[in-house]
Amino acid sequence: MSFDMLYDKDVTTNYLQGMTVAFVGYGAQGHAQANNLRDSGFHVIVGVRPGPSFEAAKKDGFEVYSVAEAAQKADWVQMLTPDELMADVYNKDVAPNLETGNVLGFSHGFNVHYKEIVAPKDVDVVMMAPKGPGNLCRRTYKEGFGVPALYATYQDFSGHAEDLAKEFAKANGAARAGLLKTTFKEETDEDLFGEQNVLMGGVTALIETGFEVLVEAGYSPELAYFECEHEMKLICDLIYEGGFAKMYKDCSNTSEYGSYVQGPKVVNESSKEAMRQGLRDIQDGTFAKEFMADYRNGFKKLYAYREEMEQSQLQKVGDQLREKMPFVKSADKYSD
């Protein structure tokens, strides 16, 4: 597996030219990718069920159809519905309308890797996974740049599926920032692991635990919020800009020394073993089975977890303080 970054100049084929690309789903990623590809000169249509997304796509000037109609009209069907819904949408509306030589595209490998979706043998199956949220993909594209992306081929019927994946990424603006080759398995494993153990599950557990320790020790919940949650963004911005070295350089010697001493005591070998077990659950399909079972049972566990989070002291204190910080509220507003 090569990990050389590719850029616009490295993507020189034109197999995507002349194709009709249908986006199934018009949420954050669907909106971003559809608009980016259209602005790059490609023929884009949208397939969604009636509702807010249908109206949003119409308002943005797209030809909007039912999913089945869009799949029937398209040469390339890009699946961008939520993971748990995707197989149902595919089996009901997309699969019956695929034709030999079509391209089935994804931006996450979950459904293909775990065999929730099994494509026919006479189509290409590819992936272009931006390493950033949809609003950032759109904003950076309009600014003349983009976010990096991963590309992969699962099934190469045409003989040039990899070129198509790279061209799709280029049309989305991602090759301006850089493309990395991967596989559906690798992208799925690493994406789920990162979300669960570091980016979301790990970070939120760390923030909440620190908040609870301070409050239980008698410190102000408001100050605990600022210390453990509010400042997290500021520290992460420094890490994003220049890694740990940049972060430590811009902080005090006291904080740097303390982090070296205390950090390994908080996240230690037992934490690492929990991460290893989490990775094993991803690799052997345990997590996927549990997640899909909860979805098919009405998401009872997910909604209970969500309710508990929304009713937590940390969330309520944070909501009250954010109401007094207009600059934080405005950062949440979505705009094209």
Q: Take residue 194 and report the two structure tokens written for it.
A: 């990162």
**In terms of Cα–Cα distance, which of 333, 7, 295 is closest to 146?**
7
Contact 165, 126 (CB under 8 A): yes
Q: Rg of the chain's alpha carbons, rounded to an integer?
A: 22
Joined together, the tokens standing for residue 28 give: 């954050």
Strands 124-130, 103-106: pairing is parallel
What is the distance between the alpha carbons of residues 62 and 203, in angstroms, rounded to a whole number? 38
> CA-CA distances (angstroms) from residue 120 to 102, 163, 263, 272?
10, 20, 50, 40
Q: Hey, what are 124's tokens?
A: 């290409």
Q: Which of 31, 108, 160, 230 is catalytic?
A: 108
Angle at CA of residue 113, ends 48 and 131, nearest 5°: 70
Secondary element (H or E) of residue 152: strand 149-155
Residues whose CB falls within 8 Å of the CB of residue 32, separated by 6 or more in sequence, listed in order: 130, 134, 135, 137, 138, 141, 172
For the question of residue 31 being annotated catalytic, the response is no
What is the DSSP secondary-structure string of 234-275? HHHHHHHHHHHHHHHHTS-HHHHHHHHHHHHHHS-HHHHHHH
The tokens for 318 are: 């944070």
Q: Three-state secondary structure along 103-132?
A: EEEECCCHHHHCCCCCCCCCCEEEEEEECC
Structure token digits, residue 233: 């963004």
- CB-CB contact of 78 with 105 (8 Å): yes
The catalytic residue positions are: 108
